[in-house]
């Protein structure tokens, strides 16, 4: 802990409520924390904890209709006592704020250069050319290569990781005392996350910059911050020194959070190798996209020579960052895309081409099903849970009488540990975890032998993730269904899978039993992935000081990048 | 749940909820219902024969005997307005029904099949859109002669692109959602996906557009009658009446034009209010 | 602008050209689709004499195959030969030429009114607080129910009978006089569109006011007026521009109503008259003209949007 008693930011009993005449809900009851000069404080919590709201209250970014109680002090000045102009000035000069999706905070129609120099010219009163050269210096400091070219580009031309660095550079322009970082790496690949955190560590060192680091990722906060403040349901629950989090944690919620981020001990299957239920061999898929520059078309190779086996009742994880082709592979297996080359064999049948007609699809549905990432869009919002499951059951048992169908629906609900009282609700009344359970139940309606999970838990809170993964493991043991888990998160895969395949840019880099690959990785890429995961004693390193990130960091498989190109 | 049940149930619920909360909406509903009643029973309710001339003094101001006054041929304006409701309202109804059905079908087809089918459908939509509705109507009149039928059908065609674009965009968005992929993997048949899931998803937007379109169609058709190309005198279509009343207006007797104009404006206003309310409900959605 | 943007714009222009071509085919086929003999259709309401029939057949090449007839017609239009009206017994070009000026002036006048009052009131509604917003909302609600012909008769009533400020008939002579005469017609045309534009502008501006990038700009301390100009309005403008092209193009057609009500001798009133007399040659040419205007104005709007928002014109990156 810093010896200077200079408190840069203080929240004292801060409460935030929606105004009384609408619904009058209190979202934050009591948020209390201090950040000293040069110190990094992590603010950790799950969704609904109030961490983002509290930070926005400091920055003055709460939407209309929110009432703030308690005291917020910046450099000792009570914000509620300041006149409006001074308040604006204090915020503009002392705070720097960086957000989760930088793209949303940048004007898509104006250049990066405009963005960087705007504040300098209109607030600090610098001249345009001085501001421009200062902007380029800042871009250099955060490791953006070729700054003069970037200054002329628009946000749409830059990747997420680059944009995040631009935002950081822009906040530094006013020489703030404290950086408010709101989930800044949540949307980034783990390797890009490491880059960004390394940049921030450098900056903090050079500028003696304090930081309030908001995240749901407790290990990350523990690794990069001096102290960690835990929030739960609108209250600050506990404040711990980062280095001794595990020993000193007292509050049961904190303990639960800590255990959720530990890779679990899952009983490994090691049995006699049986005939694989799914065999993928030499799979290749290319997307034709219009060239980013010039005329003609570019070929984007999403999947290149991918092959692996899945044993009946086994569980295989496919791990990779965005653009690795893992999702495309899963989609090809389930018939949502068609491979250009290679083969897919399921139970001896050739599944390389998607099924013809709905009868064919139904037949395949009884063997393989898929659970998607977004629990909010995975269900028809117009159907109740019961209607949705009834449709799925009746589809595969067309002649079954009503009572049998209803009984089966209840059985499915029980299998995913969902209370039957929820059955008559619409998806909008359910939480993310509950919706995901419904999608799992729906996919089990056909009694499949393979369940493909495409980032199925990535959008859930950490504690909910653990619940759902445990559920899936239990289902696997009781019904013998094989699991194919696609994820960017190694810890998820470690929790659930016996074997793992590591993919990068469409190619399989390494595969094998999970203990082997994760504990004794053979490939350098796997080692790099493992090293980028925040854990105790982790120090982010800038691997490529002059590069922006060779790894494509666009989010979905349907977005194209020219082969081998970087942004 | 069948599409019709779904639509009917939803509409009833919405109307019930809206009415209890908003006097403006109640007023709008009253107007719309009133106009509907006038359309069906207008001729029966009229105190005088709408076409009988010289039932009163010429161009008289409103009085007890003639609450809306009389026109330049001594016909009772109130009776003419009542009788004129049906043609003034029927046209827009046809325009909106035809364009909504055809436009929705076109939009869903384009979004569902994509590729070349989408290309052709979009070309067709652009083509119709490029010819302003009024021009299509005028062309139709030049080809088939004056009257309400030709312009009505021409307008119905002209309104298709608006609906088609809306539905195409909405269908594309909906089809891109993961639950649609899940349904396909499940093996749910294409027809079931389309009618049990896609169409109900699009109904709110379609309904909103239909309501708004009705207002525009009414204005357009009345304008065509005003130009003398639609309904013909001595029909008491409101647009014709407004045009016919212009000389009287200049001479100092505005009733002949003003009353039908008032009804046009009131009807469209009421429909717009309802349309706005339906649109907010549609956008609120079920997310 | 890089190659990708240029190529997408070129593609869009190609599409517009195709649409134009198809529309011209549709307009051309009006003659063929008219029930009865094409000669009768072309002759309009009059009953043609045998010599006239011959003349019509010759001039429209009715003995040639259909596609050649089309080429003759289009070729003629492109070279300035707009055909003959057998109803008015004169060249179509001669009928149209004197009327174009009036209509263009009327449309421009109206467009200016729409721009000032429509966009202006929309901005007011979005930025001056709930009272202004409510007032504009009520105004636009009424405005959107006020078609041109209703506003026209209202204005005629007020200004012909009650006040005598503006003339209610004719188009006048010379620029200033014409502007004076066209004021009431322009207002009558504009009201509906002012309401429409007001709503669109308000929606677009409000949408931007609440967007995160505007919040970010404000928090960084950038002054209000600059935030409005460079972030709110700039980003709202594509939506407004998108509607502008269609609206102005539509104005050329809707001007017919104002011309009818105020007795103005412009293109619109010619169109109406010709249609009433079933004079297809005239109607076809004017229709084609209006479609050309529509297509061109849309292209201009698209280019303007692409300048502000190059991403909208970028090649779509999707499988």
Furthest C-alpha separation in chain B: 76
Using CB atoms, list chains with 3+ pairs below 8 Å to chain B. A, C
Strands A178-182 vs A95-98: parallel, antiparallel or unpaired: parallel
Q: State mean pLDDT over B234-248.
A: 89
Handedness of CA A112, A117, A118, A123 (dihedral sign): positive
Which residues 6+ apart lie within 8 Å of B242 measured at CB? B222, B226, B257, B260, B261, B264, C149, C150, C153
Checking if the pLDDT of C219 tops 50, the result is yes
Element (H, E) at B87: helix B77-113
- The pLDDT, as a whole number, for residue B9 is 63
- The pLDDT, as a whole number, for residue A23 is 61
Q: State mean pLDDT over B157-183.
A: 94
Confidence label for C146 from pLDDT (cuts 50, 70 and 90): very high
How far apart CA B11 and CA B277 sit, in angstroms, is: 12
- Chain C (201-220) residues lying within 8 Å, Cβ to Cβ, of chain A: 210-213, 215-217, 219-220
Element (H, E) at A315: strand A315-319
Q: Which domain holds residue B112?
A: 3-286
Cα B30 to chain centroid, rounded: 17
Confidence label for B286 from pLDDT (cuts 50, 70 and 90): very low
Instruction: Find out whether C283 and C271 touch, Cβ atoms under 8 Å.
Output: yes
Checking if the pLDDT of C70 tops 90, the result is no
Give the total number of structural domains in chain B: 1
What is the pLDDT of chain C when averaged over all its residues?
85
> Are domains A7-103+176-260 and A276-355+485-567 of this chain identical in fold?
yes
Does residue A147 sit in helix, strand or coil? Answer: helix
- Chain A (396-425) residues lying within 8 Å, Cβ to Cβ, of chain B: 396
Beta bridge partners of A231: A236
CATH code of B97's domain: 1.10.3720.10
How far apart CA C101 and CA C175 sit, in angstroms, is: 10
How far apart CA A2 and CA A108 sit, in angstroms, is: 40
Would you call A118 an interface residue with chain C, using a CB distance cutoff of 8 Å?
A: yes
Rg (CA), chain A: 25
Cβ–Cβ contacts within 10 Å for residue A208, how many?
13
Higher-confidence residue: C5 or C266? C266
Residue A487 structure tokens: 């994820």
Query: A363 to each of A74, A409, B197, B212, how far by Cα in Å?
Result: 64, 20, 21, 45
Instruction: Find out whether C176 and C207 touch, Cβ atoms under 8 Å.
Output: no
How far apart CA B221 and CA B87 sit, in angstroms, is: 10
- The pLDDT, as a whole number, for residue C7 is 77
- What are the domain boundaries of chain A? 7-103+176-260, 276-355+485-567
Q: State mean pLDDT over B77-86.
A: 90
Least trusted range by pLDDT, from A129-138, B103-112, C159-168, C250-259 = C159-168
CB pairs under 8 A between A and B: 73
How far apart CA C39 and CA C51 sit, in angstroms, is: 12
Structural class in CATH, domain A276-355+485-567:
alpha beta
| Secondary structure of chain C in HEC code, one letter for each residue | CCHHHHHHHHHHHHHHHHHHHHHHHHHHCHHHHCCCCHHHHHHCCCCCCHHHHHHHHHHCCCCCCHHHHHHHHHHHHHHCCCCEECCCCEEHHHHHHHHHHHHHHHHHHHHHHHHHHHHHHHHHHHHCHHHHHHHHHHHHHHHCCCCHHHHHHHHHHHHHHHCCCCCCCCCCCCHHHHHHHHHHHHHHHHHHHHHHHHHHHHHHHHHHHCCHHHHHHHHCCCCHHHHHHHHHHHHHHHHHHHHHHHHHHHHHHHHHHHHHHHCCCCHHHHHHHHHHCCCHHHHHHHHHHHHHHHHHHHHHHHHHHHHHCHHHHCCCCCC
Checking if the pLDDT of B2 tops 60, the result is no
- Residue of chain A whose alpha carbon sits nearest to that of B182: A370
- Residue of chain B whose alpha carbon sits nearest to that of C299: B130
- The pLDDT, as a whole number, for residue C217 is 87
For the ranges B154-158, C124-128, C182-186, C228-232, the maximum mean pLDDT occurs at B154-158
C221 and A119: CB-CB below 8 Å? yes
Would you call C283 an interface residue with chain B, using a CB distance cutoff of 8 Å?
A: yes
Of A160, A220, A225, A224, which Cα lies nearest the Cα of A189? A160
- The pLDDT, as a whole number, for residue C103 is 92
Handedness of CA A174, A175, A180, A183 (dihedral sign): positive
| Tens digit of each residue's pLDDT (9 = 90 or more) over B12-65 | 666 666 556 778 888 999 999 999 999 998 888 888 888 888 888 888 888 888
Beta bridge partners of C85: C90
CB pairs under 8 A between B and C: 146
- The pLDDT, as a whole number, for residue C112 is 95
Measured between beta carbons, the chain C residues lying within 8 angstroms of B254 are 153, 157, 161
Rg (CA), chain C: 24
CA angle C97, C102, C106 (to 5 degrees): 140
Chain B interface, Cβ < 8 Å to C? 123, 126-127, 130-135, 138-139, 141-146, 215, 219, 222-223, 226-229, 239, 242-243, 245-246, 249-250, 252, 254, 257-258, 261, 264-266, 268-269, 272-273
The residue ranges of chain A whose pLDDT is under 70 are: 1-5, 20-23, 261-273, 290-296, 543-567
| A426 min Cα distance to partner chain B (Å) | 9
User: Model-level pTM?
Assistant: 0.85
- Chain A (52-91) residues lying within 8 Å, Cβ to Cβ, of chain C: 59-61, 63, 88-89, 91
- The pLDDT, as a whole number, for residue C313 is 60
Measured between beta carbons, the chain A residues lying within 8 angstroms of C2 are 293
- The pLDDT, as a whole number, for residue B11 is 65
Cis omega (within 30 of 0) for bond into A429: no
Instruction: Find out whether A300 and A560 touch, Cβ atoms under 8 Å.
Output: yes
Beta bridge partners of A16: A28, A68
| Tens digit of each residue's pLDDT (9 = 90 or more) over B254-284 | 888 999 999 999 999 999 888 888 888 877 7
* Straight-line distance from the first to the last Cα atom of chain C, in angstroms, rounded to the nearest whole number: 24
- Chain A (373-392) residues lying within 8 Å, Cβ to Cβ, of chain B: 373-374, 376-382, 387, 391-392
| Percent residues over pLDDT 90 in chain C | 31
Query: A5 to each of A207, A225, A241, C206, how far by Cα in Å?
Result: 18, 18, 17, 44
How far apart CA C55 and CA C45 sit, in angstroms, is: 16
Residue B172 structure tokens: 């594309």
Residue C89 structure tokens: 């017994």
Cβ–Cβ contacts within 10 Å for residue C47, how many?
8
Confidence label for B103 from pLDDT (cuts 50, 70 and 90): very high
Least trusted range by pLDDT, from A360-369, A550-559, B119-128, C68-77 = A550-559
B187 and A365: CB-CB below 8 Å? yes
- Residue of chain C whose alpha carbon sits nearest to that of B267: C145
How far apart CA B84 and CA A321 sit, in angstroms, is: 68
How far apart CA A336 and CA B181 sit, in angstroms, is: 7
How far apart CA C165 and CA C35 sit, in angstroms, is: 49
- The pLDDT, as a whole number, for residue C212 is 86
C2 and A293: CB-CB below 8 Å? yes
Which residues 6+ apart lie within 8 Å of C252 measured at CB? B132, C103, C107, C267, C268, C290, C293, C294
How far apart CA B259 and CA B245 sit, in angstroms, is: 10
Query: A158 to each of A114, A147, A162, A552, B97, how far by Cα in Å?
Result: 15, 12, 6, 11, 47
- Residue of chain C whose alpha carbon sits nearest to that of A96: C220
- The pLDDT, as a whole number, for residue A549 is 34
Of A174, A172, A170, A171, which Cα lies nearest the Cα of A89? A174
Nearest to C222 among A106, A122, A295 (CB): A122
**Sheet architecture: strand order including A210-215:** A77-78, A66-74, A7-18, A26-36, A235-241, A227-232, A40-44, A210-215, A178-182, A95-98
Q: Domain spanning A7-103+176-260 has what CATH number? A: 3.40.50.300
Residue B107 structure tokens: 């939009």
Would you call B187 an interface residue with chain A, using a CB distance cutoff of 8 Å?
A: yes
Which residues 6+ apart lie within 8 Å of C276 measured at CB? B141, B146, B228, B229
Q: State mean pLDDT over B180-201.
A: 91
Cα C19 to chain centroid, rounded: 17
- The pLDDT, as a whole number, for residue A435 is 93
B226 and C19: CB-CB below 8 Å? no
Measured between beta carbons, the chain C residues lying within 8 angstroms of B215 are 144-145
Beta bridge partners of A347: none
């Amino acid at each position: 802990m810093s010896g200077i008693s200079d408190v840069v930011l203080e929240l004292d009993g801060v409460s935030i409520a929606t105004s009384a005449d609408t619904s009058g809900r209190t979202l934050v009851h009591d948020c209390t924390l201090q950040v000293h000069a040069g110190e990094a404080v992590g603010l950790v919590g799950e969704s609904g904890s109030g961490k983002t709201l509290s930070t926005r209250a400091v920055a003055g970014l709460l939407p209309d209709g929110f009432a703030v109680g308690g005291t917020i002090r910046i450099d000792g000045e009570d914000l509620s006592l300041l006149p409006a102009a001074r308040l604006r000035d204090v915020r503009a000069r002392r705070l720097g704020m960086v957000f989760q999706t930088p793209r949303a905070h940048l004007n898509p129609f104006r250049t990066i250069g405009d963005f960087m120099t705007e504040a300098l010219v209109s607030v600090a009163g610098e001249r345009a050319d001085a501001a421009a050269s200062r902007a380029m210096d800042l871009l250099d400091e955060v490791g953006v290569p070729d700054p003069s070219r970037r200054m002329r580009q628009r946000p749409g031309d830059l990747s997420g990781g680059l944009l995040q660095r631009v935002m950081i550079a822009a906040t530094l322009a006013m020489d703030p005392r404290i950086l408010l970082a709101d989930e800044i790496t949540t949307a980034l690949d783990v390797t890009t996350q490491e880059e960004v955190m390394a940049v921030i560590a450098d900056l903090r060192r050079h500028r003696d910059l304090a930081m309030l680091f908001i995240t749901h990722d407790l290990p990350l906060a523990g690794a990069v911050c001096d102290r960690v403040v835990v929030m739960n349901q609108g209250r600050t629950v506990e404040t711990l020194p980062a280095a001794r989090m595990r020993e000193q944690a007292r509050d049961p919620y904190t303990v639960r959070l800590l255990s959720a981020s530990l890779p679990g001990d899952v009983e490994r299957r090691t049995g006699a190798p049986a005939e694989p239920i799914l065999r993928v061999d030499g799979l290749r898929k290319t997307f034709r996209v219009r060239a980013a520059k010039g005329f003609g078309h570019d070929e984007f190779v999403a999947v290149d020579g991918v092959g692996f086996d899945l044993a009946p009742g086994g569980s295989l994880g496919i791990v990779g960052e965005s653009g690795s082709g893992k999702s495309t592979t899963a989609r090809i297996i389930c018939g949502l895309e068609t491979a250009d080359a290679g083969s897919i064999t399921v139970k001896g049948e050739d599944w390389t081409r998607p099924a013809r007609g709905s009868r064919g699809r139904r037949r395949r549905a009884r063997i393989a099903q898929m659970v998607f990432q977004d629990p909010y869009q995975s269900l028809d919002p117009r159907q109740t849970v019961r209607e949705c499951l009834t449709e799925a059951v009746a589809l595969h048992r067309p002649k079954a009488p009503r009572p049998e169908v209803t009984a089966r629906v209840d059985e499915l609900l029980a299998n995913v540990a969902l209370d039957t009282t929820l059955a008559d609700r619409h998806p909008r009344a359910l939480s993310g975890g509950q919706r995901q359970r419904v999608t799992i139940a729906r996919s089990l309606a056909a009694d499949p032998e393979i369940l493909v999970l495409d980032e199925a838990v990535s959008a859930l809170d950490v504690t909910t993730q653990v619940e759902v993964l445990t559920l899936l493991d239990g289902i696997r043991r009781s019904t013998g269904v094989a699991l194919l888990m696609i994820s960017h998160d190694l810890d998820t895969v470690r929790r659930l899978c016996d074997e793992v395949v590591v993919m990068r840019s469409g190619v399989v880099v390494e595969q094998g039993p999970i203990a082997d690959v994760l504990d004794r990785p053979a490939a350098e890429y796997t080692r790099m992935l493992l090293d980028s995961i925040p854990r105790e004693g982790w120090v982010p390193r800038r691997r490529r000081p002059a590069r922006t990130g060779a790894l494509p960091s666009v989010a979905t498989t349907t977005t194209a990048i020219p082969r081998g190109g970087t942004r | 749940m069948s599409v019709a049940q779904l639509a009917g149930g939803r509409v009833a619920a919405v109307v019930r909820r809206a009415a209890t909360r908003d006097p403006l909406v109640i007023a709008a509903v009253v107007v719309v219902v009133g106009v509907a009643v006038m359309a069906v029973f207008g001729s029966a309710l009229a105190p005088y024969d709408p076409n009988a001339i010289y039932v009163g003094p010429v161009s008289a101001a409103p009085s007890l005997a003639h609450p809306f006054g009389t026109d330049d041929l001594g016909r009772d304006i109130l009776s003419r307005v009542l009788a004129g409701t049906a043609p003034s309202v029927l046209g827009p109804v046809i325009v909106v029904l035809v364009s909504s059905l055809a436009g929705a079908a076109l939009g869903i087809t384009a979004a569902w099949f994509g590729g070349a089918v989408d290309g052709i459908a979009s070309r067709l939509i652009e083509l119709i859109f490029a010819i302003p509705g009024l021009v299509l109507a005028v062309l139709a009149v030049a080809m088939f002669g004056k009257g309400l039928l030709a312009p009505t059908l021409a307008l119905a065609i002209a309104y298709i692109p608006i609906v088609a674009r809306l539905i195409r965009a909405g269908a594309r968005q909906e089809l891109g959602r993961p639950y649609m992929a899940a349904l396909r993997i499940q093996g749910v048949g294409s027809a079931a996906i389309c009618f049990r899931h896609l169409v109900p998803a699009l109904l709110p937007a379609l309904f909103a557009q239909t309501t708004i379109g009705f207002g525009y169609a009414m204005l357009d058709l009345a304008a065509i009658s005003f130009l003398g190309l639609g309904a013909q005198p001595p029909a008491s279509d409101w647009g014709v009446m407004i045009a016919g009343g212009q000389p009287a207006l200049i001479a100092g007797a505005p009733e002949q034009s003003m009353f039908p104009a008032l009804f046009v404006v009131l009807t469209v206003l009421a429909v717009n209010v309802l349309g706005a309310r339906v649109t907010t409900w549609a956008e609120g959605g079920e997310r | 602008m890089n190659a990708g943007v240029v190529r997408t714009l070129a593609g869009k222009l190609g599409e517009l050209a195709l649409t134009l071509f198809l529309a011209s085919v549709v307009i051309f086929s009006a003659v063929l689709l008219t029930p009865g003999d094409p000669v009768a259709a072309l002759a309009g309401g009059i009953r043609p004499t045998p010599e006239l029939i011959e003349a019509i057949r010759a001039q429209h090449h009715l003995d040639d195959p259909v596609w050649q007839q089309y080429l003759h017609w289009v070729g003629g239009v492109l070279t300035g030969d707009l055909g003959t009206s057998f109803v008015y017994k004169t060249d179509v070009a001669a009928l149209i030429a004197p009327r174009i000026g009036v209509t263009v002036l009327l449309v421009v006048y109206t467009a200016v009114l729409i721009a000032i009052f429509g966009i202006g009131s929309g901005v007011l509604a979005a930025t001056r607080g709930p009272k202004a917003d409510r007032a504009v909302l009520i105004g636009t609600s009424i405005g959107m129910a006020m078609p041109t012909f209703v506003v026209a008769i209202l204005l005629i009533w007020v200004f012909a009978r009650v006040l005598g400020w503006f003339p209610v008939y004719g188009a006048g002579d010379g620029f200033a006089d014409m502007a004076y005469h066209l004021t009431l017609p322009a207002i009558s045309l504009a009201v509906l569109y002012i309401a429409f534009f007001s709503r669109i502008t308000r929606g677009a501006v409000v949408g931007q006011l609440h967007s995160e990038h505007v919040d970010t700009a404000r928090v960084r301390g950038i002054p209000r007026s600059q935030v409005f100009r460079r972030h709110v309005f700039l980003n709202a403008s594509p939506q407004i521009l998108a509607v502008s092209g269609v609206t102005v193009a539509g104005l050329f057609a809707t001007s017919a109503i104002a011309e009818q009500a105020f007795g103005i001798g412009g293109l619109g009133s010619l169109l109406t008259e010709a249609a009433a007399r079933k004079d297809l040659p005239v109607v076809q040419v004017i229709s084609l003209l209006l479609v050309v205007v529509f297509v061109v104005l849309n292209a201009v709007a698209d280019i303007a949007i692409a300048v502000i928002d190059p991403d909208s014109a970028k090649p779509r990156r999707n499988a």
